[in-house]
A and B are shown apart, each in its own frame.
Chain A
Amino acid sequence: MFDPVALPLIFAALMGVSILLYVVLDGFDLGVGLLFPFADEGERDRMVASIGPFWDANETWLVLAIGILLVAFPVAHGDILTALYLPVAVMLIGLILRGVAFEFRAKAPLGHKRPWDAAFWAGSLMTALAQGFMLGMYVMGLEWTWAKVAFALGTAGALAVAYSFIGAGWVILKTDGVLQRKAVGWARGGIWGMVLGMGAVSVATPLVSARIFDKWFRFPEIVALAPLPLMSGLLVALLWLALRRLPTANDSFAWFPFAGAVVLMVLGFFGMAYSFYPYIVPEKLTIWQAAAATESLAIILVGTLVVLPMILGYTVLAYVIFRGKATKLSYD
């Protein structure tokens, strides 16, 4: 397990898992922020209460992902982040704004709440757009040409819509009454953006790289891979049907939009991972070329294997403790 072939692979997998967890988990709380303008003040309090106990831990997966990139693939880290300098800065400022707006809105003097709500929304938007932009640039091989930037702007919008969709799914799950009905409406609006975005990335990736095209459209792989897009399509159809019926009288299936969005994101993620493997900087550096020294990776892995199950354990504990519908917190 500690040899120079397996270790980088394990770390690439770990990084993948952290990115996936980040996109799903921070995705829903960013999405809640994106939906702020559509809610009134009381509803906003409740939406914030629904993500209050989680957002910090959700964001920590980003720190872990970037940490693994930093420590396990130091060379790639510099390449990727210097190429994405501007969007990274936009994302960081967005994360700063939303993270603190969240606290300030509850503690600021009366009457100062609205500007912080605006900051919360703007920060969420900046973060989502910047991440979508980075995704697009990554797919396009990290080159700054007009056409590629235009594509990345498209994925920026698409990811923001996708986050709002999963955010709406979260609100459906965690609330009831008028707010829940509203959230079903938001989800209906968002699902098309999500389909469009995933579609665009799936079509563009193979077109940009002959290698990736070949990986997907080669026999027999194409047969083995066919279930991925088919399942996604089926799931979208089911989601659409469900959203027309929700909310149900006894609140059954309130979990379905959120769960469906999670599965869609997971499927999309595996598609991407399959396309880019074994490269970490697209078409330039493989995970083995970019990996750090084996000794250092081994010492991290030992710790990770001990600590990661504990982290997952207490994360689940937190979700269990705060299960059920979010109640409006009293901000005195």
Chain B
Amino acid sequence: MDTLLLSRIQFAANISFHILFPTITIALGWVLLFFKLRFNRTGERKWMDLYLFWVKVFALSFAMGVVSGITMSFQFGTNWPGFMETVGNVAGPLLAYEVLTAFFLEAVFLGIMLFGASRVPGWLHTLATFLVAFGTTMSAFWILVLNSWMHTPAGHELRDGVVYAADWWAIIFNPSMPYRLTHMLLASGLTVAFLIAGLSAYRLLRGDRAAEVATGLRFGVILGAVLIPAQIVAGDMHGLNTLEHQPAKVAAMEGNWETQGNVPLLLFALPDEVARENRLELGIPSMASVILKHDPAGVVPGLDDFVAADGTVLHPPVAAVFWSFRVMVGIGVLMLLVSWGAAFLIWRRGVEGVPRPALMGLTAMSFAGWGATLAGWYTTEIGRQPWLVQGVLTVEQAVGDIASGMVATTLVAYLLVYAALLAAYVGVIFHLARKGGRYDAPVASPGMQPAE
């Protein structure tokens, strides 16, 4: 395999591993703040127990996020030197602001949040919790500004092949940023909602009857049930925005080869890039036209529009985008059914009355958010191919001149480490759940024991 392909796989592996953990910490930070404030308010022990349980998950996820994030920042230089050389004048300040306004804030106050409870006044500990949550959200903001700019560049000018910033306001609020940020923050919230619901269900299944478990289940289910409709609406708006700015991506998502009206919404198909058609199509007639154009006869751009006269294909690989998109939406629909079903059961019968199969279903969905989030990113990112920065820089132009053997060796090393750590992470989370609920030390005031 050549350096380009290997570097792409390596980048994809690293970012896929990285994104798993921020997805958890971004929303979990706010959830912890909520638990802490509820405890400050009510003085009820269960809120503190919830805090103490989830702060461990938070600390672990945070460490995983930090170390994999450091790998990310080195990747630009080691594998993609052309990226910074071409768009560094825009990407640089955005990354710099992320480090300055987010990373230090999180890192320093995380120490106080985890270990400082017995050393600082309660209000300062609550403030530290807030600042950590705020910091994770800020880092999501800056990195998504950059990522969105790479999809829908704006506010820049090209001089001698190098990008210069012309209008920072336009760069930051580029056309896809609001949609992507909203969709990602909701994705983070959903991931955490299902993780909390899933682990609480798991503890219930194992006969753990601590008060915090029932509260955790109720909290997770309600959070999921509230966020998922919002996510579906946000996703739909995101898609319409993409249709406007990256029509080739939407054509690949829909598996639509020809520009035409009455495009069906495909539920299943095997896109064939050679014959340039789908096999085994199964779809709802005209539905894609309705979704994208709000009109059954609406004309939707097709992939064949993105083939140059000499036959060069200018659209992304179809099958990968098509299927990633279906996985994400599929999980989204499943989330809707499960969270609303569970909410209904809890409402009618109370937490104790939720039948075992439903608890098993929730447990199985513990990491569903990860699946949807990754699938969503694959849709977006693969859908941008062959561009790295849409219309400005192709992936091929950015890759570094390194021996492919070296990239292959390090790739194998990373994959091994990631696989081992992922297994350890999931294993430890369930281990914590199994022994959860045993905080014997009395909790007196908003000051607490160190959360380790």
Q: Please give, as numbers and ranges, the residues of chain A lying within 8 Å of B64 by CB-CB distance.
A: 99-100, 103
Contact between A66 and B74 (Cβ–Cβ < 8 Å)? Answer: yes
Closest to A96 in B: B67
Closest to A64 in B: B99
CB distance from B186 to the nearest CB of A (A): 27
- Asked if A67 meets B73 with Cβ closer than 8 Å, knowing A292-B88, A295-B165, the reply is yes
Contact between A74 and B84 (Cβ–Cβ < 8 Å)? Answer: yes
Contact between B95 and A70 (Cβ–Cβ < 8 Å)? Answer: yes
The total of chain B residues at the interface (CB under 8 A) is: 70
Is B97 engaged at the interface, CB distance under 8 Å to the other chain? yes
Closest to B431 in A: A109
Contact between A57 and B104 (Cβ–Cβ < 8 Å)? Answer: yes
CB distance from A48 to the nearest CB of B (A): 9
Give which listed residue, B60, B119, B413, contacts A107 with CB less than 8 A: B60
Contact between B92 and A300 (Cβ–Cβ < 8 Å)? Answer: yes
Distance of A47 Cα from B164 Cα, bound (Å): 48
- Asked if A89 meets B413 with Cβ closer than 8 Å, knowing A74-B85, A100-B421, A292-B92, the reply is yes
Closest to B416 in A: A93
Contact between A60 and B99 (Cβ–Cβ < 8 Å)? Answer: yes
CB distance from A96 to the nearest CB of B (A): 4
- Asked if A296 meets B115 with Cβ closer than 8 Å, knowing A56-B107, A86-B406, A86-B410, the reply is no
Contact between B111 and A54 (Cβ–Cβ < 8 Å)? Answer: yes
Give which listed residue, B105, B116, B428, contacts A321 with CB less than 8 A: B116
- Asked if A96 meets B73 with Cβ closer than 8 Å, knowing A74-B84, A107-B56, A322-B116, the reply is no
Contact between B81 and A77 (Cβ–Cβ < 8 Å)? Answer: yes
Q: Please give, as numbers and ranges, the residues of chain A lying within 8 Å of B108 by CB-CB distance.
A: 57, 311, 314-315, 317-318
Give which listed residue, A88, A296, A300, A308, contacts B74 with CB less than 8 A: A88
Docked complex: B385-405 residues within 8 A CB-CB of A: 400-402
Distance of A12 Cα from B389 Cα, bound (Å): 28
Give which listed residue, A66, A74, A95, A299, contacts B67 with CB less than 8 A: A95
Contact between B84 and A78 (Cβ–Cβ < 8 Å)? Answer: yes
- Asked if A81 meets B115 with Cβ closer than 8 Å, knowing A86-B406, A330-B449, the reply is no
Closest to B14 in A: A92
Docked complex: A69-123 residues within 8 A CB-CB of B: 69-72, 74-75, 77-82, 85-86, 88-89, 92-93, 95-97, 99-100, 102-104, 106-109
Is A289 engaged at the interface, CB distance under 8 Å to the other chain? no
Give which listed residue, B85, B93, B414, contacts A93 with CB less than 8 A: B414
- Asked if A80 meets B92 with Cβ closer than 8 Å, knowing A59-B66, A329-B450, the reply is no
Is B96 engaged at the interface, CB distance under 8 Å to the other chain? yes
Closest to A58 in B: B107
Distance of A107 Cα from B67 Cα, bound (Å): 18
Give which listed residue, B70, B85, B92, B100, contacts A62 with CB less than 8 A: B70
Q: A81-B77, A96-B421, A108-B428 are in contact. List 14 more A-B contacts (CB 8 A).
A: A56-B111, A70-B84, A79-B81, A81-B81, A85-B406, A86-B406, A96-B417, A99-B64, A100-B67, A103-B64, A293-B162, A307-B101, A311-B105, A332-B438
* 12 A-B interface contacts by CB (under 8 A): A56-B63, A63-B103, A64-B99, A71-B93, A77-B76, A78-B84, A82-B81, A103-B63, A299-B93, A321-B112, A329-B115, A330-B450
B interface with A by C-beta (< 8 Å):
56, 59-60, 62-64, 66-71, 73-74, 76-78, 81-82, 84-85, 88-93, 95-97, 99-101, 103-112, 114-116, 119-120, 162, 164-165, 168, 400-402, 406, 410, 413-414, 417, 421, 424, 428, 431-432, 438-439, 449-450, 452
